[in-house]
Structures are given as structure tokens and as C-alpha cells.
Structure 1
Amino acid sequence: MTTEHGGDVRLTGISKSYGSAVAVHPLDLTVPQGSFFALLGASGCGKTTTLRMIAGLEEPTTGTVLLGDQDVTALPPYKRPVNTVFQSYALFPHLDIFENVAFGLRRRGVRSVRGQVEEMLDLVQLGDFARRKPHQLSGGQQQRVAVARALINHPKVLLLDEPLGALDLKLRRQMQLELKRIQTEVGITFVHVTHDQEEAMTMADTVAVMNRGRVEQLGAPADLYDLPRTPFVANFLGTSNLIGASVESRDGEDLVVRAAEGTLRLPAARCPDRVVPGGKVLVGIRPEKISLTHAEDADGTAGVGVAAGRNRVTGTIAATSFIGVSTQYLVDSPDAPAGSRLEVYVQNVERDARLVPGARVVLHWNPAHTFGLDADEGAASAGVEGVEDVEGTEGGAPAGEAA
């Protein structure tokens, strides 16, 4: 990646090592001003270490940290125009909500705090809870108090380190929308660390997917999901079916490839440039893009059939799982990678009662939904484990207030 100008956060050649263990390899990264930016990855991938270097809680081994045009690499946390919200919230239990939010202002010697505190509590929709203690609030309400306390000093950047990790699933989804609303209203830069793919895609304008101390791919959530550039991203950001194939030819804008049981087509523009005729490719397709037709209907004799021009592979249903809005099918197929099965998600609109384990089926999809990956990267990066867990631990006390 290259570093662009004009960002609220610019990391240039930033890296962090703990002895011989490298947590973050040299990294150039720009967080656009006023954006909601997510660092996404598995435990130990370097995302928290990167956030802590922005906050000043970790000293970089190499490189510089710029906030706006200010080089803050050597500044301590309390002198940086940033605030951090941790998973633990770190609220003061002996202070009510009003005083928790007012803490940063009082620490800076501001005498008249009421108007600013009330404005922040209204922003996080807790104006009626000002005189309650933290233990009298739900987890989501406590999280919003922590955000209000961090924002009241008007930091240039708000850093969020797994802030929703302690919440249950329903509340976490509600808070994802709340945090996005708050960020949109205040308009400052949010940098959010998470291991939750859905959380990153729901909230962020831009996502950096990290793996083994490096940014594997950077982009808008929809772009990363629809067109992953590596097997790691394809499997970490959702689920992908990856079919090994050899490239036979190019036909107009498409590549024609041979899989185990026949030929498939995929747009050449959705493949790396190094995927060329004569080479190997991983043919990728998301489970929800696939249609499932019972083998008896696939030839069209029953008036159903599979439309011409669609990619198709055959298989046998091995297992099904009802998951509410859809049913997940696991299919044994000669085209599936060794030791695995193809996955298909079918919306529960008109369920075919014949689609049960043991049924012969045809999987088919629009070739335009297919993407290609370099087969040589498959073995090295298809997993989702991070490097050694050498990242810094989460803070247990309030972060340094913005200057």
C-alpha cells in the first residue's frame, strides 16, 4: 500500500517487534479524515498493536505516526489529540454518569462543564441517566458513556479497541448502528479494532484486513467481500468456495478454466493479472451466490432446468442446517478441495423437500459472480490464524485525555 496525503492518521514505515517476534511488519497506511476505519483480523494479527502505536501506548520499533500534519511518534499518550475506548469501558464506579463524562474537562481545569456534558449525553441518548452510577446501566449504556467521555474533549481521532466484545449478540448489533450514528453526527475520525467481520462491514467506510502483522487487503467492505484478492481475505471475510482449476483459454472478457468435472468461466477482470492460460487458479464463489437444483430437474425435463451459460458443478448433499432466513447445505463434490465440502446458502422461500442428505444435486451460478485467486497463494494463506499472540494487552484504566 502507498501512503496518501490529507489523512487524519498517517503511518509511515511503522513496525513493532518484541525481541525476535514481529507483531507488525513495516506498514504504510492512511486513515482518511472523518472516516470510520476498521482494522480487522484474528487474534495476534497486529491490529491492536497498530492501534496502541497510534495512541502512544506502544513505542514503534521503526516508522512515524502523524495525526494530521503533526508528527506524534515521540509524544506520550496524554499529549496526543486522541482518546481510546477499551472493551472494559473503564468507567469510575464511584462517580455518576455526569461526572464520568465530565472527568476529562475537570482534569483540564474547565470550570463550566454542564452544557458540554449535557450535549454529549444527549448525543449518546443518555440524557435521562445523568445521575445514575455505572452499575445501574446496561452494558450497551455503559459503552455509550465511555464514548461520550472520550468525545467530550474533541479529540482529532477516536480509537476503539474491541469496544463491543463484552456485549451479547443482539445488543452488539444495536450498538454497531449506534456507534455509526454517533460517528456520522460528530464527523471525527474513528479507528476501530475488531475480530468480528460483520461488525467491521456494518460500521466501517474502509476496512484493512490484517494477517500475520501485515495488511492483506484494504478497501470498502462491499469491495473486499465481492472481490477478495487473497485466499485469506476470501475465507476470513465471510465464507468462500474455492475450486482448484487450470486456465485453458481466454474467450473475450472471460477466462475458461477446467475443474475436476468440466469447464467453468470467470471474468478475467476479477482475477489477478498473473492468472493466465496455462496456469493454475482458485475459482471463488460465495455460498449465497449459488443456486441448488435437484439432479432430476437439472436437464430441464421437468420444466425447471439450469439456464444455459451458467457455471455448474455436481455433487451429493452431505448435511443441511436450518439457520432461519436460509438453509446451509454442505455438498460433497469432485470439485471441492481435498478434505472439504462446497457450501451453499439457500433462502427459505420455497424449500424443495427433496434437498436432503444423500440427494444428488447441481450447483449453478452466474459466471459474473465468480472471482479468481492465485493458486500459488492458496496453501500459504487460506487459513485464518494470526502470528504469535504478541500484541499488547487491553488497557484497564482510562486512556490519556486529549490535549
Structure 2
Amino acid sequence: MTTPKTPADDAVSLTGISKTYGSFTAVQPLDLAVPAGSFFALLGASGCGKTTTLRMIAGLEDPSSGSVRLGGRDVTALPPYKRPVNTVFQNYALFPHLDVYENVAFGLRRRGIKSVKKQVGDMLDLVQLGALARRKPHQLSGGQQQRVAVARALINQPQVLLLDEPLGALDLKLRRQMQLELKRIQTEVGITFIHVTHDQEEAMTMADTVAVMNAGRVEQMGAPADLYENPASTFVANFLGTSNLIETEVTGVSGGELQLTAAGQKLTLPAARCRVDVTTGGRVLAGVRPEKITLAHSDDEHEIAESRNRVRGRIVDSSFIGVSTQYVIDSPVCPELEVFVPNVERDGRLVPGAPVVLHWNPEHTFGLDAAQDIDAGTDTDEGEAAA
């Protein structure tokens, strides 16, 4: 028999929390529970409400409604300095006149702790900066400054560490290194991390659980792989990576499968992977990720197994992107289907203008409500890192 979960089991529990500014609603009333010891990500485009939500947890914004509980304790009315949280911002906010050691020791000294040597030393070892203890912030790289900021925040042993776009100022290669570094640190210290980001790869690389936000609401929440493989909406399907969404009609339902047709081409969709209840004559958006598709020249169509979903088309564009080649296919079922083909054994016939067949395992198809906006999540501004 399992013990029922209580609010105290969660590091953070938000109940009916919302935020409005005059007539504008930044965060719709939402309930959110962040398990203790987890790495949790709030993911969304600029203006979706993720940073506002983080600031309400920190006490930097007062909620318009609802409550904030930390470790089961209601802290909604408490000021920031009385909450057991620390925040790391994108600009790090290090003290330029203090060296690394004193930046990290600052929180302890502020609390009147005299003997700080061991705690600071242990924390610098954790972030692998012991050899740079006497350098000033301007003598460090962006990634090193970021680790100093994390060490300074962690040394006070908060219940929750809040990270507001902490990697946004780093270049791509360093950002990827720091994603792994932050995950390592979180695993070692076991403190709950809540990370706000607009970068899908960042959230999926680091987090145990991701909450995808859109227009002040949580669209879907779950493990990164589950969100990617089983999106619940067109927004999630398009915002988390790339999805091909094909408008189809249901022509039959049997044996746990939906039979679909699009522009005269037949497709199969497992009923368990369809997010909407449909019957024959209903409409479904059939989705498939670009990397799940195999691309074959039409001359080789006879070699494709009958059990595979297949769509015919013509290559209109191709882009070499290192590990794979990205193809854009014009097809009667969709004007711009995307396919990612690993650069292992390249077929020289797959060039713009070539007739092709796209085929994939029906199990890799997912179904969404055709009443949704098919382009939702494709026009978000990923270049900004605001709320």
C-alpha cells in the first residue's frame, strides 16, 4: 500500500495562482506541483508567463489570486528574503569588486557566519572553480561567471533554486556544456531546481519534468521524451522540435487502428495515439516527426513494406546540416513536409526536383484535434528571453 502524497512532498505547490496587470492577464489561474529534489523546467516563448510564474514563486511579484507553498508551507504573503529560495538571473549579478571566493562567501557573511572557509571551498569544488578562487568576475568566462552565481546561490542551502534564463548570454557550444554542468550540480546537491527557458533543447536536456507554457497557461506537462513523442496539442507538437501535421479524414476504425486518407493517400494511426475521439467521417491531424521518416527515390517504392505509412511527393529543397540533411518535400497531402536523413549513406538521386516516397512506421504517427490551429507554436519568437 502506497502512502498518499501530501503537499509537503512537493518543493513547490502553486494553487490557482494568476497574475494580471490591468486588463492584461500574464498568467491564467494554474495549479502546479514541483516534486522535491527534481529538475523542473518552465518552457515557453517570450510573453508566455513563465518568468512571471517564477517571480511569484520567488516573491518578486504578488499573485493576483491563488497561493504559493514551499515544502508545504504557505509563503504567499512572505517577502522574498523570508522565502527559502535563491534566484540566478541571466546577468549573474556578481559583485565586480569581489573575487570569486568572496562572491560565494557573501551570503554566509551576511548571515553573520564567521568561519566560511570549508563551506566556500566545498562549494567551489562542486562547481569546479577552486583554482580560480582569487580571480575577479571580469577575469572569468561567461560559463565560469555562471557557475559562480550558482555557487553563491547554493551556499545558503535554499529549498529551491530558481534559474531565470541563466544560459541565455552564452554562445551555443558553451551553453550546451553548461546544460550538462548544471544537471550534474543539481544531481549532486539534490536541491530542487526550477529553470525558466525559451530554449527547447535546453529544457529537454536538463529537466526531469517540463511544463510547456503558452499564453499564460500550461499546455502540457511531463517528462521530456513523453512531451516530444506524445504532444497533446498542435502548439506543443510545433514548439517542441518540428512536426509534420497532415489534415486527414477518418475512413474507418478497426482493431485499435484508425484508417485515414489525405489527398487520396492512405495512412494508419494507432487509436491509442490519437488525442481526440473520432468516428468514420471525422477529421484528424496526423503528425509525424521529420527524423521518423525514411526518404526513398520513387524508383525504389517497390522495396517499401506494405505495412508502412507512405506519402508521395517531390523534393523542393535540401540543406546539409552536418549530422543530417534536411529535405523539404512538396506533396498533395502537405505543401512543405520536412524530413531529416542521417548523413550515413547518402543517395545521390535525392536532389531538388526528384520524385520521392516518404515512409514510416505507423506507430510513429500521433493524432491531434483538427479543430486546432495547425500552425500554433511555429511563429513564436525564440530570440527573446523575456517573460
TM-score bracket for the superposition, by shorter chain length: over 0.9
* Residues 1:372 and 2:367 aligned together: yes
Which of 196, 221, 225 is the aligned partner of 2:224?
A: 221
- After TM superposition, the structure 1 = structure 2 runs for residues 142-221 of structure 1, keeping only pairs within 5 Å, are 142-221=145-224
Check whether the contact 1:294–1:361 (CA below 8 A) recurs between aligned residues.
yes
The 1-side partners of 2:113 and 2:306 are apart by 72
Which of 86, 89, 92 is the aligned partner of 2:89?
A: 86
Q: Shift in Å at residue 296 of structure 1?
A: 1.0
The 1-side partners of 2:297 and 2:259 are apart by 26
Which of 116, 120, 123 is the aligned partner of 1:120?
A: 123
Which residue in the other structure is 2:305 paired with?
Answer: 307
Cα shift readout 1:185-209 (whole Å, capped 9, x = no counterpart): 0001000000000000000000000
The 2-side partners of 1:288 and 1:101 are apart by 44
Which deviates more from structure 2 when the two are superposed, residues 77-86 or residues 277-286? 277-286
Q: With CA pairs under 8 Å and 6+ residues apart, which has the higher RCO, 1 or 2?
A: 1
Which residue in the other structure is 1:398 paired with?
Answer: none
Which of 330, 346, 356 is the aligned partner of 2:351?
A: 356
Q: Shift in Å at residue 274 of structure 1?
A: 2.1
* Residues 1:45 and 2:48 aligned together: yes
Relative to structure 1, the CA distance from residue 284 to residue 74 in structure 2 (aligned partners, 3 Å threshold; closer, same or farther) is same
The 1-side partners of 2:204 and 2:328 are apart by 25
The 2-side partners of 1:134 and 1:262 are apart by 61
Which residue in the other structure is 2:323 paired with?
Answer: 325
Cα shift readout 1:330-374 (whole Å, capped 9, x = no counterpart): 0000111xxx40000000010000100000000000000000000
* Aligned amino acid, residue 134 of structure 1: P
The 1-side partners of 2:377 and 2:129 are apart by 44
Which residue in the other structure is 2:289 paired with?
Answer: 286
Which residue in the other structure is 2:268 paired with?
Answer: 265
The 1-side partners of 2:126 and 2:278 are apart by 51
* Aligned amino acid, residue 203 of structure 2: A
Which residue in the other structure is 2:333 paired with?
Answer: 335
Q: Number of matched residues?
A: 380
Q: Shift in Å at residue 238 of structure 1?
A: 0.2
Q: Shift in Å at residue 233 of structure 1?
A: 0.2
Q: Shift in Å at residue 391 of structure 1?
A: 6.6
- Partner of 2:371: helix, strand, or coil? helix
Over the aligned positions, Cα root-mean-square deviation in angstroms equals 1.5
Q: Shift in Å at residue 273 of structure 1?
A: 4.0
Q: Shift in Å at residue 69 of structure 1?
A: 1.3
Check whether the contact 2:168–2:385 (CA below 8 A) recurs between aligned residues.
no
Which deviates more from structure 2 when the two are superposed, residues 121-130 or residues 247-256? 247-256
The 1-side partners of 2:385 and 2:158 are apart by 28
Check whether the contact 2:10–2:36 (CA below 8 A) recurs between aligned residues.
yes
The 2-side partners of 1:171 and 1:118 are apart by 24
- After TM superposition, the structure 1 = structure 2 runs for residues 382-397 of structure 1, keeping only pairs within 5 Å, are 382-385=377-380
The 1-side partners of 2:6 and 2:255 are apart by 35
* Residues 1:250 and 2:269 aligned together: no
* Aligned amino acid, residue 320 of structure 1: S
Percent of residue pairs bearing the same amino acid type = 72
Gaps of 5+ in 1: 300-304, 393-403
Which deviates more from structure 2 when the two are superposed, residues 269-278 or residues 259-268? 269-278
Check whether the contact 1:18–1:390 (CA below 8 A) recurs between aligned residues.
no
TM-score by length of 1: 0.92
* Residues 1:30 and 2:33 aligned together: yes
The 2-side partners of 1:293 and 1:355 are apart by 8
Relative to structure 1, the CA distance from residue 379 to residue 311 in structure 2 (aligned partners, 3 Å threshold; closer, same or farther) is closer
Check whether the contact 2:261–2:267 (CA below 8 A) recurs between aligned residues.
yes
Q: Shift in Å at residue 79 of structure 1?
A: 0.5
Q: Shift in Å at residue 390 of structure 1?
A: 12
Gaps of 5+ in 2: none
The 2-side partners of 1:48 and 1:342 are apart by 34
Cα shift readout 1:48-99 (whole Å, capped 9, x = no counterpart): 0000000000000000000011111111101000000000000000000000
Cα shift readout 1:295-329 (whole Å, capped 9, x = no counterpart): 11112xxxxx1111100000000000000000000
Relative to structure 1, the CA distance from residue 190 to residue 390 in structure 2 (aligned partners, 3 Å threshold; closer, same or farther) is closer
Check whether the contact 2:238–2:375 (CA below 8 A) recurs between aligned residues.
no
Which of 81, 94, 99 is the aligned partner of 2:102?
A: 99
* Residues 1:345 and 2:340 aligned together: yes
* Aligned amino acid, residue 319 of structure 1: D
The 2-side partners of 1:353 and 1:377 are apart by 39
